[in-house]
Amino acid sequence: MKAKHRVGVETVFSETKFTTGADGTQIAYHVFGSGPEVMFWQHGFNSDAEHWRYMLEYFPADEYRIIAPDLRGCGQSGKPADERAYTFDHLTQDALAVIRAEGLKGFTLLGHSTGGAIAQWLASELGTDVKALGLIGPVPATGVPVNDAARALFLQGADGEGKAQGRAQILKLGWYGEMPQDMLDALLPGALTWCKEGFVGVFNTWTGGIHFPERLAQITAPTIVIGGDHEPFLHKDFLMATVVNPIRNARYVTVLNSAHFIHIQNAAVTAGLVRGFVAALA
């Protein structure tokens, strides 16, 4: 299946580099631009770093340097064949390994979905090294418990004959309105890079393996939380209670005509919010 918009991470980013997680897993991360404003972007479940491509065009390469890892289990990162290798500790330590490999300080953290939970933990750990924190439809520090019906729906994409259909259905759930076929064709290949163990392991992590609410008070970075007005799970009241209110200097912004993939469906608006928020701190 050839996608109209799928051009590949090698074309979107200027360079792909590798480092090693604490358990020896190879972690791929991709670099865009060489500007003075440095950002670390972490994608979420059923996505890979290439899914950031829709926002990248709004960040001039001579002004920004963006580092975007592939989570373990997907993209070009290592894919351990054990669901126990995908705990939240593994995911955060992988991100730290990339940050340390690049010697990042005074940078902006941006995370979507599960990547938003990772970004919150990183901000609590790194303190003043983080200049600003941007959270797009973030999983909170308490995770997102799901019922049996939702669990069955998500896990139909784990493996077997229903894998592609199941992963496509998850993408469609995060889209406001009917997802255009060419957009689905563009996003699905990234979702299909997830190995079974990574898919199940990270699903189990964001639904029940995340719990660090006590660390949110340690976040010192000014924070913007961006939510969609048609978000199916992480609606405004939930995010206000679990993310915005517990973080000092956090504010919430709603993007209209958006569900979960705000940074793709309304990339220009999301990019504008992030750029403006960071610029206002100067």
Q: Domain of 122: which CATH number?
A: 3.40.50.1820
pLDDT of res. 72: 98
pLDDT level of residue 1 (50, 70, 90 thresholds): very low
Range of the domain at 89: 9-279
Length reported for the chain: 282
**Does 78 fall in a domain?**
yes
pLDDT of 268 over the 90 cut: yes
Query: What ranges make up the beta strands (E) of the chain?
Result: 15-20, 26-32, 37-42, 64-69, 107-112, 130-136, 223-228, 250-255
- 8 A C-beta contact, residue 218 and residue 124: yes
Angle CA(223)–CA(211)–CA(151) in degrees, nearest 5? 105
pLDDT of res. 264: 98
pLDDT of 11 over the 90 cut: no
Contacts of residue 195, defined as CB under 8 A and 6 or more positions apart, other chains included, come to 73, 74, 79, 81
pLDDT level of residue 259 (50, 70, 90 thresholds): very high
**Does 189 fall in a domain?**
yes
**Does 175 fall in a domain?**
yes
Model confidence pLDDT, tens digit, residues 122-181 = 999 999 999 999 999 999 999 999 999 999 999 999 999 999 999 999 999 999 999 999
Helices (H), 57-195: 88-102, 114-126, 148-155, 163-173, 181-191
* SS3 label, residue 148: helix
pLDDT level of residue 7 (50, 70, 90 thresholds): low
Token digits of residue 90: 């593994």
pLDDT of 6 over the 50 cut: no
How many domains does the chain divide into?
1
**Does 2 fall in a domain?**
no
**Does 59 fall in a domain?**
yes
